[in-house]
Amino acid sequence: MVKLEALMAKGVVAPCIGCTRSCEPEKCELLGEWIKLLIDEYEMEEH
């Protein structure tokens, strides 16, 4: 069973879901922005 919450950050779905681009994850701007949301969400939960 997949936990959909793991694919979300601040209500935004991970950009890799359904992506058909051939890219390098470390250079993907969309993924970088989503990771920032994920970090922000994590930090908010800590406080």
Q: What is the pTM of this model?
A: 0.80
- Tens of pLDDT along 11-40? 999 999 889 989 899 999 999 999 999 999
**Cα angle 28-37-47, degrees, rounded to a multiple of 5:** 150
Domain range enclosing 29: 4-46
Q: What's residue 45's pLDDT?
A: 85
Structure token pair of residue 2: 């997949």
C-alpha–C-alpha distance, residues 33 and 45, integer Å: 19
Taking a C-beta distance cutoff of 8 angstroms, is the pair 38, 13 a contact? no
Domain count along the chain: 1
Residue 3 has pLDDT above 80, yes or no: yes
Q: Name the pLDDT band for 46 (thresholds 50, 70, 90).
A: confident
The reported pLDDT for the residue numbered 6 is 87
Longest distance between any two alpha carbons in the chain, whole Å: 38
